[in-house]
Amino acid sequence: MSDDLKKGLEGVLVAESGLSSIDGDAGRLIYRGYTIEDLARGASYEEVLYLLWNGHLPTEDELEPFADALMEEREVSEDVLATMERLAAADEEPMAALRTAVSMFSATEPETDADPDDLEATLRKGRRITAKIPTALAAFERYRLGEEPVDPHPDLGLAANFLYMLTGEVPGDIAAETFDQALILHADHGLNASTFTSMVIGSTMADIYSAVTGGISALSGPLHGGANQDVMEVLIEIDESDLDHREWVEQATEEGRRIPGFGHRVYNVKDPRAKILQERSEELANNGESKWYKYTTTIEQYLSEEKGLTEKGIAPNVDFYSGSVYYQLGIPIDMYTPIFAMSRAGGWIAHVLEYQEDNRLIRPRARYTGPEDQEFVPIEER
């Protein structure tokens, strides 16, 4: 057994997976062999969920009942809605509200007594979680606005339905397609912190509700989720500044400020997901407000070319463009990370199911650095 210490498990292989693969030097991401570009531009989020959970892209005859099953599971209980209302009134953080909601979903689970080894039952539970998350999130946001929740739309896919439940209005084609793409882009990404957390929980054969709740908890940390929120806050700061956006970024970098959305633990080149969202941001700009797209492209050009970050392996990641895309869609800034969780839940569930097919309890060890041979002193003598 090696005594080499790998902080953060960096470079340590802990599992085999056929779900997603990342080539950080080439800027390549694939789900089960399909490039992220092909999936984002040619498939729906429901098709990608099917792919991750079943191993192949669905035919039309397979997709229809799969999508229908998701639609049938969208409703959440009155208890969940009441809790979302109370949490909204208490000004709870959206990620904390989501964590609570997912944990509560299990109270109405019809297969709660299923054997932990019954992976088909686990998949059905995962489908229910995935279907209900958008409903609970949208209800929480509506309650924060002092409005009643909007019931799920029976004829809309998961992405369009979420936007509908936020506003009460059926989204336009561009908005629905853009958000659907964003969900696809965030569905899986190797053994990141939240995915690994879900797998660790799943390796104990705890239920999938526990695994997804754990993934949400890991994603809520600022070192994992939240970067796109940081990006949007910077863009708003630029917009409210007296400086031209080019002058602002020059001054900020001269002062040593770090611009969020640049650099990635895996990618040494531009994140392929960022390229796709940049295209969507431009399309949204051409059909509405263009300044956010101008700001992001100016910052990218300045930092990549003039400051030489690309040559140093520091390039835009998915968060750099997702923030402004969500803002252009009218989504509240503090809902960005919960939306990340809404998408990534599909990947968490897929990884748990895959790992449990040949399960082994995940149990690493730590190097002890504490004292040795301490003499015990009874409490009355200390």
The catalytic residues are 264, 319
The three state secondary structure string of the chain is CCCCCCHHHCCCCCCCCCCEEEECCCCEEEECCEEHHHHHHHCCHHHHHHHHHHCCCCCHHHHHHHHHHHHHCCCCCHHHHHHHHHHHHCCCCHHHHHHHHHHHHHHHCCCCCCCCCCHHHHHHHHHHHHHHHHHHHHHHHHHHCCCCCCCCCCCCCHHHHHHHHHHCCCCCHHHHHHHHHHHHHCCCCCCCHHHHHHHHHHHCCCCHHHHHHHHHHHHCCCCCCCHHHHHHHHHHHHHHCCCCHHHHHHHHHHCCCCCCCECCCCCCCCCHHHHHHHHHHHHHHHCCCCHHHHHHHHHHHHHHHHCCCHHHCCCECHHHHHHHHHHHCCCCHHHHHHHHHHHHHHHHHHHHHHHHCCCCCCCCCCCCCCCCCCCCCCHHHC
